[in-house]
Structure 1
Amino acid sequence: MDKLVLYALSFLYILRVLFGSEVKMAVQDPSYPAYVDSSVIVGQTSLFQKDIEKYGNIEYMRCVPENGFFPDLSTISHVDIIFFCSPNNPTGSATTRDQLIHLVQFAQDNGSIVLFDSAYSLYISDDSPRSIYEIPGAKEVAIETSSFSKYAGFTGVRLGWTVVLKELLFSDGFPVAKDFNRIVCTCFNGASNIAQAGGLACLSPEGLKAMVETIKFYKENTEIIVDTFKSLGFGYTFQAEAGLDVVTTPGSGFGPAGEGFVRVSAFGHRANIMEAAKRIKQLYK
């Protein structure tokens, strides 16, 4: 490993500066809105096309139940950067090992770099890869980022890490890690001592145990919500964010393929989850 950066920084902003405004990107559809929004802010996209609800110069990779939430890569034109999140936000779908092998091979064949977001990886309970670096060849085509936000409630603290390996090179052979490090050191002074101390505490034996327990609690919340949907005959995928008022997010807010879905969350107090489940049942029964 050539570089492990632990900062409270905007990963997406750094990447925009690193790769410039002339690159073409692909994103899962639906996906975390910041992937597209940050591209718009720095001028990597063309005009928004209202008729299809998409920005130009972005390849929207449709990931829906019909294709197992994994895109048909044979339909994707040449792209420089591929944003990929597993488990995905908002669908919660975890990419299988065979699918990730296919993605890495696609990147190798097309000279693309995969920006792999593993912010939810500790929620994986089957044998799906938790890191893209588990896949042979990924070191030469991927950057991985993650965060304490989903494991330890650090959302407001904005503490995370990015891994850029020495094997990842630009087309001229120059290491991507060197440019990444220069940009980070120029633009940021690093996370506060308090935030870093919190992150280190999370990585201690006691901290890791606490994070596992927190994830277990949220997954139990998910089971309550899923059971509620099942009892009403609703379809669902894994990631189930709902408050006391049962506020949901329209799926279209995550991309055109999210139309017809809503996103709810299990990240909440148990009493609120139970109340939300009760209200949903009362509303739809």
Structure 2
Amino acid sequence: MQIGLLYFSGTGATANLADIFKKHFRELGHSVELIRIKHNTSFQLEGYDLFGIGAPVYSYRAPRMVTSILSKLDFNQKPFFVFSTIGGQKGNTHWNLYKAVRDTAGPCLGEFTVAITTNIRSWMPNKRRIMPKYVISAYDENRAQEFVQEIFNNLEYEVEKIPKKKIFLSIFTSLLSWRWQMGLTAGIKQVDKEKCTKCGICANEICPSGAISLDSSGHPKFNEFTCVGCNGCVNLCPVDAIWAYKSKNHHQYNAFRKYIIGFNKK
């Protein structure tokens, strides 16, 4: 089968989970392509037999930028599954992803989530303290492997598993996770020009929303009205040159940096 795994990831955890799925699908002899959802992604979805659609949880729901993009795509009535990474509860995230694609996709074959931690830098330990090591555990990787087999079982026996919608949370989250609110989690961003190496990675590889551009000298500049609060730039800058007042004294959450910067999705 030709499998397309579409995922949104700001700091790399969801990308890591997508990569784990890719490995287990390939072990079964399938062809897999990873497609990161960004504001300028060019989607060519013809030719796939199965889709996986993943995102981190933002305030009990899928990021609004993600569902907005997904709802405009044509999944050619192909079956799909949804997945997420969470720091707390998944809320309606899987329902949001399902709803965004159900009009053009085929049956939903299942849902999968992994709990790691939040990626909000200001919630990380102060730099005077030790930063925990975050990984997707061997237990969760084994769960992912079992889930891959479950997907094919559901496909064979035509079992559809529609994520449940939590009505109360749907009302509650209608007030949350708007672009400006999520942007506040990262704070008003600044650049330390003495540290900055003008590598351009923040604008070209990290930011998924087009909120970072480079000025004439090569330093990043930030459009806070476009920021979706993925916290990627403040966490993943290789030299920690991007900061905000609320988080400058806290550790970067960069455990999954390699799944964003220089990540080979093939």
- TM-score, with structure 1 as normaliser: 0.38
- TM-score, with structure 2 as normaliser: 0.40
Which structure is larger by alpha-carbon Rg, 1 or 2? 1
Q: Whose RCO is larger (CA < 8 A, sep 6+)?
A: 2
